[in-house]
Amino acid sequence: MLASQYNSTEAVVRHDWTRDEVEALYAMPFNDLLFKAQVVHRQHFDPNQVQVSTLLSIKTGACPEDCKYCPQSARYDTGLEKERLLEIEKVIERAKEAKQTGSTRFCMGAAWRNPKERDMPYLTQMVAEVKAMGLETCMTLGMLTRDQAVALKQAGLDYYNHNLDTSPEFYGDIITTRTYQDRLDTLQNVREAGMNVCSGGIVGMGETLSDRASLLIQLANLPEQPQSVPINMLVKVDGTPLDKLDDMEPFDFIRTIAVARIMMPKSHVRLSAGREQMNEQMQALCFMAGANSIFYGCKLLTTSNPDTHEDVVLFKKLGINSERTREYSDEAHQLALEEAIEQQNAPQSELFYDATEKGQTESA
């Protein structure tokens, strides 16, 4: 496979992916697939930067849903202790710790089917206080109404996570207490409120390759592709219905990362749950395949995650740096717009691609 086959045109965002196309990507020789994904990745991102988030469970356990993978479901005996909603002071304390360790986004998750109206003032205050620290904010609270989405946006929420989990065809084998359309409706409410969408899924739950392709098609063919796409590898928890499944083949997981990168070229693809079960070499291949976001911290809600120190060591070995957010005031944003207009009006010779080392650094 020649490099020129991939370098000739820039990857575009498409919303018309077909199953045959996606299954053909999965069927590519592994090296060719990773090369294609890496070329696409470099067209839109610095390949040596990874966005770092921290995820905190603000309300744990006793969820009424029946998601077969989840230890927080009240329907399964997993030994998980129910915890009440965290006080705002404790959340802020954890957010400060996250910022000190290099996280740029702080995600707060609650084991709910959906937030109650009585919870909304508390949640909006939490968002506002975390946002005031200079962190990007994200929440995952279950289904949202349009009014709830608007309230969270007005409080300063940047991202809302609501995963599709799997394909529409396999979905009923995993969850019966909410429909696929319920999930799509929440994503629409989030998008219409003006927030960034964080939505992905879980692989390794017994689904077929066709199911994985179908999940990615659902995500890529949304009216607007998610800004963040978490790809989780099933973490088997004793007491859940999926605890006896065979482990997922690592190369199949890496292929899913690569296909997600190709299909959603401008989205952050997050290497999410399951990283503790991956060795350094597998994680490195995932980064090569286009993953450019991770969670820092010892826990992802209730499941374990690599220690922050281990991630720092791995980043150093691979020459990876944490991606920094750009914080613009209204005045700075206006200035940036004015500068962009000036560049458009500049002599044509000044608009040519700068292939020098300096030019490549500035355009990354």
Q: Examine the residue annotation and report whether 67 is marked as an active-site residue of this protein.
A: yes
Question: Which of 63, 183, 261, 286 is flagged as catalytic?
Answer: 63
Question: Which of 212, 270, 275, 286 is flagged as catalytic?
Answer: 270
Asked if pLDDT for residue 238 goes beyond 60, the answer is yes
Chain centroid to Cα 69, Å, comes to 18
Burial class from Cβ neighbours inside 10 Å (0-12, 13-18, 19+) for residue 72 reads buried
198 is in an annotated binding site: yes
Question: Which of 19, 183, 198, 298 is flagged as catalytic?
Answer: 198
Q: Examine the residue annotation and report whether 63 is marked as an active-site residue of this protein.
A: yes
Interval 262-308: pLDDT, tens: 999 999 999 988 888 899 999 999 999 999 998 875 444 444 455 66
Q: How far apart are CA 235 and CA 271, in angstroms?
A: 13
Residue 343 vs residue 72, higher pLDDT: 72
Mean pLDDT of the chain: 82
Name the one residue in this structure whose structure tokens are 């609270």: 141
107 is in an annotated binding site: yes
Asked if pLDDT for residue 316 goes beyond 50, the answer is yes
The confidence band for 9, taking pLDDT boundaries of 50, 70 and 90, is: low
Asked if pLDDT for residue 325 goes beyond 70, the answer is no
The confidence band for 71, taking pLDDT boundaries of 50, 70 and 90, is: confident
For domain 34-341, the CATH class is alpha beta
The reported pLDDT for the residue numbered 171 is 93
Interval 210-237: pLDDT, tens: 999 999 999 999 999 999 999 999 988 8
Task: Work out the average pLDDT over 164-190.
Answer: 94
Interval 94-136: pLDDT, tens: 899 888 887 888 988 888 878 889 999 999 999 999 999 889 9
Residue 300 vs residue 321, higher pLDDT: 321
Q: Examine the residue annotation and report whether 138 is marked as an active-site residue of this protein.
A: yes
